[in-house]
Amino acid sequence: MTASASSSPPDARRAGDPLARRGLPHALQALQAIVTREVLKFMQQTGRLVSALVRPLLWLAVFAAGFRNVFGVAIVEPYDTYIPYDVYIAPGLIGMVLLFNGMQSSLAMVYDREMGLMRLLLTAPLPRPWLLFCKLAATALLSLLQAVAFVLVAWLIGTELPLLGWQGLHALLAALSAALMLGALGLLLSVHIKQLENFAGTMNFVIFPMYFLSTALYPLWKLQESGAEWVYQIARFNPFTHAVEWIRFALYDKDPGLAPLVVLGCTLVFFTLACWGYDPQRGFGQLTKRG
């Protein structure tokens, strides 16, 4: 009888705990609510989509068109023939869309924290990593939608990309994985950015080095051929390089090598550090107390 009496309070607590009672449905409901909120907020910010498309399209329509015949790319993997410059940089511009939206999510996280929304979110009766994953999933979805919109506009203005068949689906998977990696990086950066005023300076030290020190605009062998050995080595170990190369190789149905492992590994590392940073007991400054 004593054993029965001692076991009844935990059973009662489990019965009254909404998370224990509902489990997965409760978690999925939270995922749906957070993703829906972010999508609706994005739909109300039409300028955000326009700015996300104007930036890469400016590179494609002006920069790539001006250097179309100057920077033709030789026959290297994954291409089977010489290609115009706009075709080469298209995967890099897809990566640009994903990169900028991932960093934009960092700004949104800082804003939500200052407004007190992050405190409300992180005190919900769900595991903190799951709540952060819901934010990450919303960011990745918005990044992917913007990337698809860019690809459609690029196709309309004459950039030829093999989008049909298996390679199109593979490229979509690669873009989604890259969006998750860059969104996780944005999540991690939001731990360190304490005020909105610090956002621009921090982003300048992340976005531009990550983008320009990669294969988004030029192949690695051109860097090595020009004698810029240190730039070549940085670009080799840049996670964004592997994200762009995965998208590029996927479009032509070629083996991307270690790129998927690097992208997924970096996603796991960034997200784990972000979860640790948003833990008020172990993280970088007890963020829930700040906002």
Q: How far apart are CA 172 and CA 177, in angstroms?
A: 9
Q: What tens digit of pLDDT does each residue of 57-99 get?
A: 888 887 776 666 555 555 566 766 677 788 888 899 999 999 9
Domain count of the fold of the chain? 1
Quick check: helix, strand or coil at residue 289?
helix
Per 3-state DSSP, what percentage of the chain is helix, strand, and coil (rounded to 5)?
Answer: 75, 0, 25
- The number of C-alpha atoms within 13 Å of 12 and in the hemisphere containing its C-beta is 6
- Reading the block at residue 169, the tokens are 């689906």
Structural domain includes residue 13: no
**pTM across the whole model:** 0.82
Structural domain includes residue 234: yes
Structural domain includes residue 8: no
User: Which DSSP string do the residues of 186-207 spell out, in sequence order?
Assistant: HHHHHHH--SGGGHHHHHHTTH
Q: What tens digit of pLDDT does each residue of 156-194 get?
A: 888 888 877 788 899 999 999 999 999 999 989 888 777
Structural domain includes residue 285: yes
Structural domain includes residue 1: no
Q: How far apart are CA 89 and CA 78, in angstroms?
A: 13
Residue type present at position 113 = R
**Domain limits at 236?**
27-290
Question: Among 66-70, 179-183, 249-253, 255-259, where is mean pLDDT lowest?
Answer: 66-70
Is residue 285 very low, low, confident or very high in pLDDT (cuts 50, 70, 90)?
Answer: very low
Backbone angles phi, psi at 232, to 5 degrees: -60, -45
Structural domain includes residue 17: no
CA angle 178, 183, 186 (to 5 degrees): 130
Q: How far apart are CA 218 and CA 39, in angstroms?
A: 34
Mean pLDDT across the chain, nearest whole number? Answer: 80
Residue with tokens 């992208």: 263
